[in-house]
Amino acid sequence: MNQTYPLLKGNWLPKNKAHVAAWIKDLKTRTHLTSHSIAQPIAEFKELVESDPVLLRLSQDMFTEAKSHKELTPLETPEVNSFDEFLVLLNHIMTQAPECTEFLDPKTGALEPCGLIGFPINALLDWPMATDSGYAFFANELVNQQFKKILTYWSLYLSSPASRSVLVENHPDRIPKVFGWLSDNAQKEMVTVACQAEASDSENHNKPFEHFFNCDPTDKHYGFKSWDDFFTRTFKDGVRPVAEGDDVIANACESAPLQVVTNVAKSSSFWLKGQPYSLENMMDFDPLAEQFVGGTVYQAFLSALSYHRWNSPVSGTIKKTFMVNGSYYLGNRYQGFNNPDGADDSAPNNSQPFLTAVATRAVIFIESDNPKIGLMCFIAIGMAEVSSCAVTVEEGQHINKGDELGMFHFGGSTHCLIFKPDVELEFDFHNTAPGLDATNIPVCSRIATVKNK
């Protein structure tokens, strides 16, 4: 039976475990056929681990422990066998951008088109990081500091002209097959995702990619300067109209609703099933967190093939904004690895709230022009490789509803809107139901309305 990946709702990894296994096998082959000098931050990472007896032991034990749970391991074979092999593969990833893949499962005959290994490092570490040793290793502050350097190094490539080769190059001889992101099938898939909230007979489903996104179809790369430029593409004017009305709150991201939680606690423990929100942790112990105790949290997750910028849910003034550096690979601890039946019932429902407190995130407090809303908070949460949160507004700046707040470079994972306890809201989920199977709600459309007082 094909197994889905708990933290990968939104198609950040293909649903079929055999697809990911084939990708790892292909990566190994290409790594052996090419030679890359070791990137400086990876060399530093290797030195850090080898010079620390505790980290060295944990780096070895997490792969050994993962093998002992092979019957539960989503990747099965070919697996990454050791930390040293992981570093070699990681080094190769530094000079490639995520590709559009198509996989035909030899066992089931199922076709999985437009697959995206959007979390390649996550794919390599999928179960080692979910072991006891892996959790201790990736909770280490020095490890996370070094991973930040590695991801920053990779982002330089993803922002370079060389990275846009994946937009146009085809490799049909590889397994899985690789096609450019600007190929007809990939464009149709992205249009389908952009039209998720519309009826199946909507004429928009048949419109071209350039109808929705700012681009130049007369150019080989559609005018995109890099992979990151393509991934942070913008909608054309008028494609996503801003919901009108002072009492109407607009959707801040093109995203699928996960859940709404009321009466949120100031501080909560994250080590029990049914992960709660903890305002102090989410807001990095900022004094403003006190004002939201007992309030409401709305959380939604982003799709890998979708729009990755954040837009203001209200008109108002930016009161405070700051970045919180977090941990990169702790979320999969909540995959149910230690469940005797191998079930993943504790994630991602509960790991996504956990990420709001431990992952890299941007926190933006907005004082709404509407006194019935008052001070609210937007939090953008990066997950795993997707931890480049870029804020584009400044404190004291007045913004209109729908104006850009920032973006996830190389994708995104999840975000929250947080309201004070005296704000009563009626949510509009646009014919989808909050949860792991929800579909995208268009950015800037109505997500909630403030009830009259």
Domain definitions of the chain by residue range: 17-178, 248-450
For residue 391, list its beta bridge partners.
Answer: 406
CATH architecture of 248-450: Distorted Sandwich (2.70)
Q: What is the pLDDT of residue 452?
A: 73
Q: What is the pLDDT of residue 118?
A: 65
Q: What is the pLDDT of residue 114?
A: 76
Q: What is the pLDDT of residue 295?
A: 96
Instruction: Indicate the average pLDDT of the chain.
Output: 85
Distance from C-alpha of 250 to C-alpha of 23, rounded to nearest angstrom: 39
List of the chain residues with pLDDT < 50:
1-9, 72-78, 270-273, 332-350
Q: What is the pLDDT of residue 122?
A: 78
Q: Residue 320: exposed, middle, or buried by beta-carbon count in 10 A (0-12, 13-18, 19+)? A: middle
Q: What is the pLDDT of residue 369?
A: 98
Structure tokens at 141: 């502050």
Are 72 and 337 a contacting pair, CB within 8 Å?
A: yes
Distance from C-alpha of 294 to C-alpha of 298, rounded to nearest angstrom: 13
